[in-house]
């Protein structure tokens, strides 16, 4: 292996994701719903959940809560 490498012409990896791993508590029934839907669509359920959340951000959707 070389002692020194030249990275002056290096380019940023365009395939690197801008995602961050977190822990989140989600109801079992909600996970089951997304797993079933993801299986039907042929994608990982975490990708599906991220797509739903991303759609909320892009369309500035706000949650409407109604307390009984």
Q: Give the DSSP letter string of 6-42.
A: --TT----TT------------HHHHHHHHHHHHHHT
* Residue pLDDT, tens place only, 33-62: 999 999 999 999 999 999 999 999 999 999
Predicted TM-score (pTM) of this structure = 0.69
Indicate whether 14 pLDDT > 80: no
Cα distances (angstroms) measured from residue 68 to each of 30, 58, 62, 65: 22, 30, 19, 10
Q: What length is written for the chain?
A: 68
Identify the residue whose tokens are 């759609």.
55
- Count the Cβ atoms, other than its own, within 10 Å of residue 10: 8
Indicate whether 17 pLDDT > 90: no
For residue 2, what pLDDT is reported? Answer: 77
* Residue pLDDT, tens place only, 23-38: 999 999 999 999 999 9
């Amino acid at each position: 292996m070389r002692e020194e490498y030249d990275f002056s012409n290096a380019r940023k990896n365009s395939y690197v994701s801008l995602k961050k791993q977190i822990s989140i508590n989600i109801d079992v029934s909600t996970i089951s719903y997304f797993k079933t839907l993801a299986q039907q669509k042929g994608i990982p359920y975490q990708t599906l959940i991220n797509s739903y959340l991303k759609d909320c951000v892009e369309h500035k959707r706000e949650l409407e809560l109604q307390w009984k």
